[in-house]
Copies of this chain bind each other. A is one copy, B any other.
Amino acid sequence: MPNHDWYIEKFQDASAIGYRITGRLYHAVSPYQTVEIYQTAEFGNLLVLDGAIMLTEAHEFIYHDMLVHIPLLSHPHPKRVLVIGGGDGGTIREVLRHDTVERADMVEIDEEVVKASRLHLPDLAGQLDDPRVRLKFQDAVEFVREISDEYDVVLVDSTDPIGPGEGLFSSAFYRDVLRALKADGIVAVQSESPFGTKGEVGAIQAKMKAIFPLVRLYWGPMPNYPFGTWTWTYCSKSGREPEIRRPEAAAAIEAEAKYYNRDIHRSAFVLPNFMRKY
């Protein structure tokens, strides 16, 4: 057996997840974090921020389908979308599949993530130059303070609540997002692991429920993250449940998606007992 190299993330000094790598393609230290891209043996390129695995090209499709299509198809006519974080471009790529969308603003704090992704994650970042996209390199916590009644959907594609992502998990930020939404607006956020960061899932839920009239936890597999399962949280300003509002658009997305389908739209909100307590 050859002496292989591995990228192993040791999560909270208790569990580990990793990939065999065949090279490091990118390394930079930005003002915010260390940005690395590795080539894996079997799962395409691997994005790592501050030592935490963000995605592999092989499996990112699940995360992006779940973060984007559930809120966008629950909205009757999403025209203006705000993506917070998401520097790899995968979230924007999925947003642009919705032909109702006229403009997608993306506010990413770290230009270095976009630069690395344009070079080495072209299947994700390839749509960032679409004319409907406006890219801003700025702290989204500051950006949303200035905005009122402007977006149909806000998607928070953040890192974990430590480091540059920390402010994106505060009640003050959630209140600003509520104000930034139009009256029938929806926000979806990545809301951490039901196994690895149990406290976080519950904390996000509690803060959201104090601010939004309707909050629903949903979940799916995410092979790239510790323990392999992830959650997202759907919040509605109008109090409307996350039901499919545009059946034809949902069918069209389903026909092309690798993960999303209309039955999954519903079953993703069915929680196992241990997650009902969060």
User: Is residue A159 contacting chain B, with contact meaning CB distance below 8 A?
Assistant: no
User: Is residue A270 contacting chain B, with contact meaning CB distance below 8 A?
Assistant: yes
Within 8 A of B (CB), among A153-194: 194
User: Is residue A43 contacting chain B, with contact meaning CB distance below 8 A?
Assistant: yes
Please determine whether A4 and B13 come into contact, CB atoms closer than 8 angstroms.
Answer: yes
A40 to B14, CA, bound (A): 8
Query: Which of B15, B43, B263 touches A270 (beta carbons < 8 Å)?
Result: B263
User: Is residue A32 contacting chain B, with contact meaning CB distance below 8 A?
Assistant: no
Mark contacts of A243-278 with chain B using CB atoms, 8 A cut-off: 1 yes-contact digit, 0 otherwise.
000000000001001111101101100101110100
A223 to B6, CA, bound (A): 20
Mark contacts of A1-35 with chain B using CB atoms, 8 A cut-off: 1 yes-contact digit, 0 otherwise.
10010101010111111111000000000000000
Query: Which of B223, B260, B261, B273 touches A195 (beta carbons < 8 Å)?
Result: B223
- Can you list 17 A-B contacts (CB < 8 A)? A6-B10, A8-B8, A13-B41, A14-B40, A15-B18, A15-B42, A16-B19, A17-B17, A62-B272, A195-B223, A221-B228, A223-B228, A225-B228, A257-B273, A261-B276, A266-B270, A267-B267
Contacts of A254 in B (CB 8 A): 273
User: Is residue A143 contacting chain B, with contact meaning CB distance below 8 A?
Assistant: no
Mark contacts of A35-75 with chain B using CB atoms, 8 A cut-off: 1 yes-contact digit, 0 otherwise.
00000111100000000000000010110000000000000
A259 to B275, CA, bound (A): 8
Contacts of A15 in B (CB 8 A): 17-20, 42-43
User: Is residue A222 contacting chain B, with contact meaning CB distance below 8 A?
Assistant: yes
A199 → chain B closest CB, angstroms: 13
User: Is residue A227 contacting chain B, with contact meaning CB distance below 8 A?
Assistant: yes
A102 → chain B closest CB, angstroms: 27
Nearest B residue to A9 via CB reads B16
A233 to B1, CA, bound (A): 35
User: Is residue A229 contacting chain B, with contact meaning CB distance below 8 A?
Assistant: yes
Nearest B residue to A56 via CB reads B15
A223 to B274, CA, bound (A): 14
Nearest B residue to A229 via CB reads B221
Given contacts A264-B270, A273-B259, contact A42 B14 (CB under 8 A): yes
Contacts of A41 in B (CB 8 A): 13-14
Query: Which of B6, B19, B227 touches A228 (beta carbons < 8 Å)?
Result: B227
